Amino acid sequence: MITIRKAEERGASQLNWLNSQHSFSFGSYRDPRHMGFSDLRVINDDRVIAGAGFGTHGHRDMEIISYVLEGELAHRDSMDTGSVIRPGDVQRMSAGTGVTHSEMNASETDPVHFLQIWIIPDTQGLAPDYEQKHFALSDRQDQWRLVGSRDGQAGSVTIHQDVSLYTATLSADTKLTYELSADRKAWLQVARGEVVLNGEPLSAGDGAAIASLSSLELSAVSDKAEVLLFDLAN
């Protein structure tokens, strides 16, 4: 079964510097029908104008993943780590017992567009931790690339939960398949472009909750379509 979460049905936060779309309940947006999916708790589709961003704020007991689509995102945190996240980078921050951080547009002239993803960890009270890796376009062009996993396999970032996160950038008419174990479910998030999932058309911002399916067939309608696939526990 595939349940579509259309982009235009998502919650939203609109500020003079931020356009944020919420696939699941977040902040002042609350919908009991959309509180998350398996251990996936938040997918925020954020656009921030030049020179602005999220000032220092705190988190606890959450795996936070930042995935930049366009522009540059500057990160600083209370672990004395800082970096600029660019397209192709995946950053994972384990909030654990508590961490503060800021996320600012690194450019004074161009906007930044990124996804922020929260995953509920399998263990509470972890020591705060941070990891960032780059995944070349050639490794994810027209193929699945594992970018996050429980054990950090294949050079992916380590996520403290039973989840595997894949990304793929697709040329028009490219087709990919994915085999899903009987005891698993999945979420597909379309980051950009247009695709078809098992006959269901999806566009940028759309999500798809997948359960009780053994095989996924994904084809790109537009060039440079980009998707994220979460393989999750039942």
Q: Residue 199: give its domain's CATH number.
A: 2.60.120.10
Determine if residue 72 is labeled as part of a ligand binding site: no
Spatial separation of the C-alpha atoms in residues 64 and 94, rounded to whole Å: 6
The answer to whether the CB of 105 falls within 8 A of the CB of 50 is: yes
Task: Give the domain range for residue 152.
Answer: 2-233
Residue 103 counted as an annotated binding residue: yes
Q: Is the pTM of this model over 0.75?
A: yes
Number of domains in the chain: 1
State the pLDDT confidence band at 1, using cuts at 50, 70 and 90.
Answer: very high
Flag whether 134 is marked binding. Answer: no
Tokens of 154: 């294949």
Q: Confirm or deny that 59 is annotated as ligand binding.
A: yes
Note the Cα 200 to chain centre separation in Å: 21
Percent of the chain with pLDDT over 90: 89
Average pLDDT over residues 164-180: 96
pLDDT score recorded for residue 17: 94
Enter the tokens of residue 27. 């902040």
In angstroms, rounded to a whole number, what is the distance separating the alpha carbons of residues 109 and 21?
23
Confidence band of 74 (pLDDT split at 50, 70, 90): very high
- Over residues 119-123, mean pLDDT: 97
pLDDT at 162 over 90: yes
CA–CA gap between residue 220 and residue 9 (Å, rounded): 22
